[in-house]
């Protein structure tokens, strides 16, 4: 948990029990939480690397980092999710409400995130972030909420901003009358051949419940109450996923690591670099997922890339759309 910027009054389970549940009707664009500050300490960066199982010495070893492109230790690009977390519950607390998870009522899971990077986060940087509700919308009966997080260092320089979208409420499933066959699903269109020079190095991760639990524990910067889709099997059974799943931001971290293999971490730590990851299917404990990608466009000093995340059964679990800066 961060030692800096802790809330003046830390929420307790007793206090949460007295609060009503934050809901769609009271939600307003602009709802916000107090700023928080997190120090990018050696331990914090190392914990993040352990949680996504990335052993790049540029993040962990002084000698390697000194001889690397930054001259000193930096944090992985997606460390931004840890040092500037989306803090949805604190938005609700600030308005006098508890989150649905804290009340044990439902999950509000990850749908997608879109990160705009600005500069590296260096060892011992103090990162201050703000978060607010940027948008809320309905699509095909589903309700979505997007939060916007801005983060800057102790010198007031922006290190990045990201939009984080959650599924607030899933539309009811349509019931099919008995004896009626489901609609035929069209076969996927054949993909055009990819130029070998556009193929990016692939990355494989084996997801386990231990790894999922570790990600949640090592990246906790605030007290956590209530139930959790990722680590509470009983609650997860009652959600749309029917069991525990990994965190979408963990897979976004894997996408970042895959890009390191092709470009080095500096390609995502410059103005103009972006990373969007959209979840399509849940990634469960026991899955072996493979990330593969290709360059889709080259323009000036930037490459646009697409990443596909596929499980051991060949099913698409997510899509990454990325812009890296090559100079």
> Span 63-86, mean pLDDT?
96
| pLDDT, tens only, 11-22 | 888 999 999 999
CA distances from residue 224 to 1, 86, 155, 231 in whole angstroms, order as listed: 10, 13, 30, 12
| pLDDT, tens only, 249-281 | 999 999 999 999 999 989 999 999 999 999 999
Q: Alpha-carbon distance 204 to 310, whole Å?
A: 10
What pLDDT band is residue 189 in, cutting at 50, 70 and 90?
low
Three-state secondary-structure class, residue 215? helix
E strands, 170-301, are: 199-206, 274-279, 288-299
Q: Walk me through the domains of the chain, giving residue ranges and CATH numbers.
A: 13-171+195-325 (3.10.129.10)
CA distances from residue 145 to 108, 156, 168, 230 in whole angstroms, order as listed: 9, 28, 6, 19
Of the two residues 171 and 235, the one the predictor is more confident about is 235
The predicted structure's pLDDT at residue 184: 58
Q: Alpha-carbon distance 125 to 89, whole Å?
A: 25
> Among candidates 298, 302, 272, 321, which has minimal Cα distance to 119?
272
| pLDDT, tens only, 227-253 | 889 999 999 999 989 999 999 999 999
Number of other CB atoms surrounding residue 228 within 10 Å:
16
DSSP secondary structure letter of residue 314: S
Would you call 10 exposed, middle or buried from its count of C-beta atoms within 10 A (0-12, 13-18, 19+)? exposed
The predicted structure's pLDDT at residue 10: 67
As a whole-number percent, the residues of the chain with pLDDT over 90 amount to 82
Three-state secondary-structure class, residue 290? strand
The predicted structure's pLDDT at residue 275: 98
Of the two residues 193 and 260, the one the predictor is more confident about is 260
Tell me: pLDDT of 126 over 50: yes
Tell me: pLDDT of 164 over 50: yes
Inter-residue contact 109 to 166 (CB < 8 Å): yes
The predicted structure's pLDDT at residue 4: 39
For the chain, the C-alpha Rg in angstroms (whole number) is 20
> Span 201-224, mean pLDDT?
94
The predicted structure's pLDDT at residue 120: 97
The predicted structure's pLDDT at residue 8: 41
Number of other CB atoms surrounding residue 276 within 10 Å:
19
Q: Alpha-carbon distance 112 to 246, whole Å?
A: 13
The predicted structure's pLDDT at residue 191: 67
Worst-scoring range by mean pLDDT, 10-19, 98-107, 208-217?
A: 10-19
How would you label 51-81 residue by residue, b for 16+ Cβ within 10 Å and e otherwise?
bbebebebbbeeeebeebeeeebbbbbbbbb
Residue carrying structure tokens 């000093």: 301
Q: Alpha-carbon distance 214 to 230, whole Å?
A: 11
> Span 178-191, mean pLDDT?
56
66: left (phi over 0), alpha (psi -120 to 50) or beta: alpha
The predicted model scores a pTM of 0.91
Number of other CB atoms surrounding residue 154 within 10 Å:
12
- The overall average pLDDT reported for the chain is 92
What pLDDT band is residue 193 in, cutting at 50, 70 and 90?
confident
Main-chain dihedrals φ then ψ at residue 159, nearest 5 degrees: -105, -15
Q: Partners of 215 in the beta sheet?
A: none
E strands, 3-124, are: 32-39, 110-117
| pLDDT, tens only, 21-69 | 999 999 999 999 999 999 999 999 999 999 999 999 999 999 999 999 9
Would you call 13 exposed, middle or buried from its count of C-beta atoms within 10 A (0-12, 13-18, 19+)? exposed
Q: Alpha-carbon distance 221 to 48, whole Å?
A: 11
């Amino acid at each position: 948990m961060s030692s800096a910027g802790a809330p003046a009054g830390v929420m307790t389970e007793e206090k949460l029990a007295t609060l009503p549940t934050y809901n769609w009707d009271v939600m307003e664009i602009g709802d916000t939480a107090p700023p928080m500050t997190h120090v990018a300490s050696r331990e914090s960066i190392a914990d993040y690397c352990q949680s996504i199982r990335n052993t790049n010495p540029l993040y962990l070893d002084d000698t390697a980092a000194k001889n690397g492109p930054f001259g000193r230790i930096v944090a992985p690009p997606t460390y931004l999710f840890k040092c500037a977390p989306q803090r949805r519950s604190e938005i609700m607390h600030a308005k006098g409400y508890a989150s649905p998870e804290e009340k044990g009522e439902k999950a509000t899971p990850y749908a997608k995130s879109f990160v705009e990077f600005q500069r590296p986060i260096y060892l011992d940087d103090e990162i201050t972030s703000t978060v607010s509700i940027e948008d809320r919308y309905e699509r095909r009966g589903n309700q979505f909420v997007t939060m916007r997080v801005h983060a800057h260092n102790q010198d007031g320089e922006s290190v990045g901003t990201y939009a984080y979208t959650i599924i607030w409420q899933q539309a009811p499933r349509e019931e099919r009358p008995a004896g009626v066959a489901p609609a035929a699903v069209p076969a996927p269109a054949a993909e055009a051949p990819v130029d070998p020079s556009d193929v990016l190095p692939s990355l494989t991760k084996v997801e386990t419940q231990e790894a999922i639990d570790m990600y949640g524990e090592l990246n906790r910067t605030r007290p956590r109450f209530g139930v959790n889709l990722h680590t509470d099997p009983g609650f997860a059974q009652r959600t749309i996923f029917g069991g525990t799943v990994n965190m979408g931001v963990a897979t976004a971290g894997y996408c970042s690591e895959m890009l390191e293999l092709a470009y080095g971490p500096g390609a995502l730590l410059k103005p103009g670099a972006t990373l969007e990851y959209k979840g399509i299917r849940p990634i469960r404990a026991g899955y072996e997922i493979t990330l593969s990608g290709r360059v889709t466009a080259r323009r000036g000093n930037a490459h646009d890339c697409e990443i596909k995340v596929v499980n051991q059964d060949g099913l698409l679990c997510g899509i990454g759309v990325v812009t890296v800066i090559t100079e």
